[in-house]
Amino acid sequence: MPEISDTDLAALQKKADAADSAAAAAAQAATDADAARAALAAGVTRYADTVRAAHPSIPADAIAGDSFDAVDAAATSAQRIADAALAAAGKTPPASVPAGGAAPRNDAPNTDGMSPIQKVSAGLKQRAATGS
């Protein structure tokens, strides 16, 4: 067997160390990619849950997907089908509810033309009726 010089042995050791470093970096990159995929999947799941909550008239299983775009496409398609079914049944689709809750209510009486005393009286009557 031929003898390897110290220079060649050092060069081979350097290449082996570089290969080990590259393998460790590749393993770390794979771990990071797996974590990013898991975070993305969790985000898409939360987004789909939010879209389902925003569209209670659509069956929940009709809104699904493995990406944000797929969830949007499924929701749009399901909404079109639901609207068409309601139209075929002769009903109008429900009004959209703004994000964050129901539309604001205006239970206050019309105070146009009331005197200040009448306005105070109307406000006290309304407060008594609502218990607040």
Q: What are the pLDDT tens digits along the chain (132 aa)? A: 678 888 988 999 999 999 999 999 999 999 999 999 999 999 999 999 999 999 888 889 999 999 999 999 999 999 998 888 888 888 776 666 555 555 556 666 677 888 888 888 888 888 887 766
pLDDT value at position 103?
A: 54
Report the C-alpha gap between 19 and 15 in whole angstroms: 6
Report the C-alpha gap between 132 and 119 in whole angstroms: 17
pLDDT value at position 4?
A: 83
CA of 103: how far to CAs of 98, 100, 107, 123, 126, in Å?
7, 9, 13, 22, 20
Rounded to 10 degrees, the C-alpha dihedral 38/43/46/48 comes to -100
Report the C-alpha gap between 18 and 20 in whole angstroms: 5
Tell me if the pTM is above 0.75. no
